[in-house]
Amino acid sequence: MVSDATTPTGSARPRNLAGSQDAYFGTRAASWTDRYQSSPSFRARLYVVGQAIDEFRHDCPQARVLDFGGGTGVFSAVASRWASFTVCVDRSLPMLTKGRADLPSMAAMLASEGFEGPLGKIARIAGDDQCVSSRHACFDLILAIAVLEYVADAKTLLTRLTQRLDQGGMLLITVPNRTSPVRIAQRIGQPLVTRRLTTTGRLTDLSFLGLRPHGDGVPWQLAAAAAGLVVERKSAVPLGLSGVRRWFHPTLLISLRRPVDHRG
Ligand SMILES: C[S@@+](CC[C@H](N)C(=O)[O-])C[C@H]1O[C@@H](n2cnc3c(N)ncnc32)[C@H](O)[C@@H]1O
């Protein structure tokens, strides 16, 4: 739980990739939940991913849900409205504590975006995928939303998460859509942004690009196959819900199923 965190890393000096990521998410924690209302791309992510989570309720009304890399726990909160229990695991202590601090405003934000209903209890654990594999809980639905692009070893991560997934269970992931014009433009713009960063020391919204070990090319298909997961559905998450933004799809939402083993 947040109070007895296994690997809290909120204020570490960035000495490596994980340290730089933790420093980045530490500075973003205070405004993270609000962005699901103020940023068109975050709103679109909430709309598409939130609907996919709520659809799972029809399959499994009492689902046990793990939100891995859950940040402030926005998607944990969506699931907690109907799940039997919800666990949010994240390496960033500031993200977890900020999410726990203001649940009424998170509930109000979700209701205003179409996800009404009281929030259920969410267990928050500071840790990474090693902490997940050291526990014996089993889940029906595991979320890894906007996380895989920050992980160097996607195969080990998906294998560890699959070990915690019940047979027939679902893993919902999002990854960058590398062929989207938005991603291509970001890749072209990144060197300019990096140069500006080093010369002026100013942070820009593209600073997260340097924190993703595979860039836009997350090897999720290989990782999913190695973990024994089957691709059930792939959908595109738009850049926004209205105007020109609806035409661009910089992110993919993928549903991966752990098949039922009929041999046993
Ligand atoms: C882009 S944020 C997404 C947060 C949340 N899933 C959402 O969509 O609002 C990525 C999160 O993944 C967490 N993260 C990245 N790598 C991780 C790892 N190896 N173990 C645990 N958390 C990780 C970061 O701390 C951060 O909170």
User: If you average pLDDT over residues 7-22, what whole number do you get?
Assistant: 66
Higher pLDDT pick, 186 / 244: 244
Report pLDDT for 131.
87
In a domain, 202, yes or no: no
For residue 157, give the CATH number of its domain.
3.40.50.150
How many domains, in total, are found in the chain? 1
Q: Is 220 in the pocket of ligand 1 (CB under 6 A)?
A: no
In a domain, 194, yes or no: no
Q: Is 124 in the pocket of ligand 1 (CB under 6 A)?
A: no
Q: How far is CA 156 from CA 149, 159, 189, 223, in A?
A: 14, 5, 31, 8
Report pLDDT for 197.
47
Q: What's the mean per-residue pLDDT of the chain?
A: 89
Residue 173 has pLDDT above 60, yes or no: yes
Coil, strand or helix: which one is 122?
Answer: strand
Residue 192 has pLDDT above 90, yes or no: no
Domain span holding position 158: 2-180+214-257
Which of 146-150, 162-166, 180-184, 203-207 has the least mean pLDDT? 203-207
Q: Both tokens of residue 22?
A: 């933790």
Higher pLDDT pick, 236 / 204: 236
Coil, strand or helix: which one is 220?
Answer: helix
Report pLDDT for 7.
39
* Cβ neighbours of 126 (radius 10 Å): 24
In a domain, 7, yes or no: yes
Report pLDDT for 44.
98
In a domain, 209, yes or no: no
In a domain, 101, yes or no: yes
Report pLDDT for 150.
96
Report pLDDT for 8.
41
Q: Is 216 in the pocket of ligand 1 (CB under 6 A)?
A: no
Q: Is 149 in the pocket of ligand 1 (CB under 6 A)?
A: no
Residue 258 has pLDDT above 60, yes or no: yes
Are 66 and 166 in contact, with CB atoms under 8 Å apart?
no
Q: Is 29 in the pocket of ligand 1 (CB under 6 A)?
A: no
In a domain, 195, yes or no: no
> What CA–CA distance (Å, rounded) separates 108 from 139?
27
The residue contributing the CA closest to ligand 1 atom 12 is 69
User: If you average pLDDT over residues 3-32, what whole number do you get?
Assistant: 72
Higher pLDDT pick, 192 / 156: 156
In a domain, 82, yes or no: yes
Report pLDDT for 199.
46
User: If you average pLDDT over residues 79-87, what whole number do you get?
Assistant: 97
The residue contributing the CA closest to ligand 1 atom 3 is 146
Residues 6+ apart with CB under 8 A from 42: 35, 36
SS3 content of the chain, % helix, strand, coil (to 5): 50, 20, 35
User: Could you tell me which of 3, 2, 25, 22 has the C-alpha nearest to residue 13?
Assistant: 22
**Would you list the DSSP string of 148-177?**
GGG-S-HHHHHHHHHHTEEEEEEEEEEEE-
User: If you average pLDDT over residues 39-59, what whole number do you get?
Assistant: 97
Q: Place 136 in a pLDDT band, splitting at 50, 70 and 90.
A: confident
Report pLDDT for 53.
98
Q: How far is CA 147 from CA 4, 54, 65, 261, in A?
A: 23, 20, 16, 28
User: If you average pLDDT over residues 19-42, what whole number do you get?
Assistant: 95
The model's pTM:
0.91
In a domain, 30, yes or no: yes
Report pLDDT for 138.
94
